[in-house]
Amino acid sequence: MIAQGKEKGKTQVSRKTTDGGTPVEESSSENGSFLTDLGYRAVLDLLPCYVSIQDAALRILFTNSQFEKDFGPGVGRICHEVYKKTAEKCPLCPVQRSFSDQKPHLSEETVRLSSGEWADLAVYSAPITDIFGNVRAVIEMSGNITKLKENHKELAFLGQSVAVVSHDIKNILEGLQGGAYVVDEGIKDDDMKLAGKGWNVVKRNIADITAITQNILYASKKRFSKYQEIYLEDLIDDVVNLFEKKAEDMSVNLEVKTNPALPGVRVDPPGIRRMLNNVLLNALEACKADKENRFHKVTVRTDFYDKRHFMIEVEDNGTGMDDATREKIFKGFYSTKGDAGTGLGLHVVDKVVMGHGGRVEILTMPSKGTTFRVILPMR
Amino acid sequence: MAKRVLVVDDEMDMRIFISTLLETNGYKALTAKDGEEGLVIACSEKPSLIILDVMMPKESGINLYRELRKHPKLQGVPVIMLSALSKKTFFYSQKMLDKYKEEEIPEPEVYIEKPAEPEELLDAINTCLEP
């Protein structure tokens, strides 16, 4: 016989009055009786969370309707098969822990709903004992915390961004101060060549801080894309023009090869521009960091990918990446450039490409170079 | 003849800034963009002073500093370390490396935390190069 439900029921039936007088019937007759009428089953069904009861073999004995709605029918099936769609038991499963130590437990689990979606749950488990104190079953109650986790991630991201970006801005300020000093010295000595040199330092740092600011805005704001039909060639020429001087300074040959047969495409031009900016900058910096090749080249290419997709490729013969680096580069704030990078660039690339319903392919080999391929639907 | 000062920094802007500071104050500036290049130039040009950034790609300033101090022809050249790394962290890392490598490397003449004010840096340069 299961005791918990009965005891719970008992506590609700009567309670001593505060003046110590005779027990009176709980005011439930007026306020709470409809609950009794409703029955516990209905109350459990009303809960906006998942409730299930499992036996020692982890077979589900009971589920509420919220559970059935999101996971499908579960009674009679093994819990991890239903919650996680896996044949393996969950490590550190709270239900098994409640079976072994007869105590309630809490854990966070990632589950798969019958819609195929992944969800994060906060799972509470509590033992259900018989009158001899033996655990006969465990009740599991889980709340969906997916949204909460997402907010948490965004907050962590923002926190990190403040730290990384302040460091970066400090570097840029230093550049600006240094540049201003050189300009001053040039003016003082009437040496316009020196002043011009200083002014270039100032301008370079202004460009850097502009890029960082735009990336932060892109990374942290929910912005609405404005799609419009454009010819890719024009946009690419615009962006590449911005980098020509930089490429020349770095002695990198910058080349554009567009397929003239490519029709107009529907994209969010500021997004694609931002994305291409970041990918191009990475390619140039991969060349700068590479000390092995003498001749460095970056090629920007556009072409059909298949019937319904087009691609923008940026190929460099710079340092290339090993597998471990390739895995990590899309994480916000991962940078291979030490002081010189925030790691925000590719995070923004990812965001723009996802927003367009596209994907990224990276072909890379250490000391050979990298081809960064962005594949987008024609729409 | 103007005294030669070698500036080793991976940031082009810093190299421009410090060499301007040097040139406008009567010194001859030599520049290198990483530790490896720095060592080559130091060996061939025998500068009177070396201004060294700590964090650089390829050979770091920490390694180059230790190599300079062990180099028979360069160990006497004064060094100004210039870095975004705090002084405490740098000296701690030096002590740890001393212990690990079982050697004792003397501390640099001057350690300046970035951002460096032009006057502060110039004072340090002048002091190091006083006859």
Q: What is the pLDDT along chain B (131 residues), one digit of tens a residue?
A: 899 999 999 888 899 999 999 999 999 999 998 888 999 999 999 999 999 988 776 677 888 899 999 999 999 999 999 887 788 888 888 888 888 888 888 889 999 988 788 999 999 999 999 87
Q: Is the pLDDT of residue A232 over 50?
A: yes
Mean pLDDT of A256-261: 92
pLDDT at B21: 94
Q: Is the pLDDT of residue A25 over 50?
A: no
Q: Are residues B42 and B6 in contact, defined by beta-carbon separation less than 8 angstroms?
A: yes
Mean pLDDT of A336-341: 54
pLDDT at A210: 87
| Residue A69, φ and ψ in degrees, nearest 5 | -65, -40
CA–CA gap between residue A215 and residue A348 (Å, rounded): 7
B-chain CB neighbours of A209 within 8 Å are none
Q: How confident is the model at residue A10 (pLDDT cuts 50, 70, 90)?
A: very low
Q: Search chain A and give the residue with CA nearest B116.
A: A174
Mean pLDDT of A281-298: 86
pLDDT at A333: 55
On the question of a cis peptide bond just before residue A366, with omega within 30 degrees of 0, the verdict is no
Q: Search chain B and give the residue with CA nearest A202.
A: B13
Q: How confident is the model at residue A1 (pLDDT cuts 50, 70, 90)?
A: very low
Residue A198: in which H helix or E strand, if any? helix A192-220
Whether the CB of B115 is below 8 Å from some CB of chain A: the reply is yes
Q: Is the pLDDT of residue A221 over 70?
A: no
pLDDT at A78: 95
Query: Of A193-197, A305-309, A336-340, where does mean pLDDT reach its minimum?
Result: A336-340
Whether the CB of A177 is below 8 Å from some CB of chain B: the reply is yes
Query: Of A219-233, A266-280, A307-321, where does mean pLDDT reach its minimum?
Result: A219-233
**Max mean pLDDT range (A8-17, A54-63, A204-213):** A54-63
pLDDT at A355: 86
Q: How far are the Cα atoms of A77, A106, A112, A118 from residue A121, in angstroms, in the given order?
A: 20, 10, 10, 10
Q: Are residues A71 and A113 in contact, defined by beta-carbon separation less than 8 angstroms?
A: yes
Mean pLDDT of A182-188: 94
Q: Search chain B and give the residue with CA nearest A291.
A: B58
A-chain CB neighbours of B115 within 8 Å are 170, 173-174, 177
Whether the CB of B118 is below 8 Å from some CB of chain A: the reply is yes
Q: Are residues A256 and A300 in contact, defined by beta-carbon separation less than 8 angstroms?
A: yes
Q: Is the pLDDT of residue A249 over 90?
A: no
Q: Is the pLDDT of residue A326 over 70?
A: yes
Q: Is the pLDDT of residue A17 over 50?
A: no
pLDDT at A20: 43
Q: How far are the Cα atoms of A22, A195, A317, A326, B129 from residue B87, in angstroms, in the given order?
A: 77, 33, 38, 34, 22
Chain A nearest-CA distance from B85, in A, is: 11
Q: How confident is the model at residue A246 (pLDDT cuts 50, 70, 90)?
A: confident
Contact state of A179 with B13 under an 8 Å Cβ cutoff: yes
Mean pLDDT of A143-170: 78
Q: Is the pLDDT of residue A337 over 60?
A: no
Mean pLDDT of A147-163: 76
Nearest by CB: B13 against A185, A205, A338 = A205
Q: What is the DSSP string of A302-355?
A: EEE-SSSEEEEEEEE-S----HHHHHHTTSTT--SSGGG--S-HHHHHHHHHHH
pLDDT at A220: 66
Average pLDDT, chain A: 83
Q: Search chain B and give the residue with CA nearest A205.
A: B13
Chain B nearest-CA distance from A186, in A, is: 9
Contact state of B55 with A339 under an 8 Å Cβ cutoff: yes
**How many of the other CB atoms lie within 10 Å of CB of A230?**
15
Q: Is the pLDDT of residue A343 over 60?
A: yes
A-chain CB neighbours of B18 within 8 Å are 178
CA–CA gap between residue A122 and residue A144 (Å, rounded): 7
pLDDT at B98: 87
Contact state of A174 with B58 under an 8 Å Cβ cutoff: no
Mean pLDDT of A333-358: 73
CA–CA gap between residue B88 and residue A362 (Å, rounded): 41
Selected for mutation to probe chain B from A181, A288, A291 (highest B CB count within 10 Å) is: A181
Mean pLDDT of A221-233: 81
Whether the CB of B40 is below 8 Å from some CB of chain A: the reply is no
Q: Is the pLDDT of residue A314 over 90?
A: yes
Query: Of A178-187, A198-207, A279-288, B90-99, where does mean pLDDT reach its minimum?
Result: B90-99
Q: Search chain A and give the residue with CA nearest B17.
A: A178
Contact state of B21 with A181 under an 8 Å Cβ cutoff: yes
Q: How confident is the model at residue A181 (pLDDT cuts 50, 70, 90)?
A: very high
Whether the CB of A321 is below 8 Å from some CB of chain B: the reply is no
Residue A247: in which H helix or E strand, if any? helix A232-249
Whether the CB of B58 is below 8 Å from some CB of chain A: the reply is yes
B-chain CB neighbours of A185 within 8 Å are 20-21, 24
Selected for mutation to probe chain B from A170, A171, A202, A208 (highest B CB count within 10 Å) is: A171
Secondary structure (H, E, C), chain B: CCCEEEEECCCHHHHHHHHHHHHCCCCEEEEECCHHHHHHHHHHHCCCEEEEECCCCCCCHHHHHHHHHHCCCCCCCCEEEEECCCHHHHHHHHHHHHHHHCCCCCCCCEEEECCCCHHHHHHHHHHHHCC
Mean pLDDT of A52-73: 95
Mean pLDDT of A177-204: 93
pLDDT at A255: 94
CA–CA gap between residue A339 and residue B24 (Å, rounded): 29
